[in-house]
Amino acid sequence: MMNILVLGTGCSKCKTLEKATREVVEKYGIDATVTKVEDIVEILKFNVMTTPALVVDGKVLVRGRVPSHDELKELLTTKFYQI
């Protein structure tokens, strides 16, 4: 099972990324847990200075922007395993 973290303090972009990530996981049946992390101390542990950020199994894949649904699908299915 994939562990997905959405890092963000609660801004609209952070909420948008969380919603989009949950939609992609559900739509494509991805075996993953999605957790929203709002604690700034926890966010900084990932060396992220610009939110929102997407962390998959401990790797920061996106920071400072909200990717499209298609990009999220690609990141969470094929591309992630090539990193």
The one catalytic residue in 14, 17, 20, 75 is 14
**CA separation, residue 16 to residues 36, 59, 78 (Å):** 11, 20, 22
- Is 11 a catalytic site residue? yes
The one catalytic residue in 3, 9, 10, 11 is 11
Residues with catalytic annotation? Answer: 11, 14
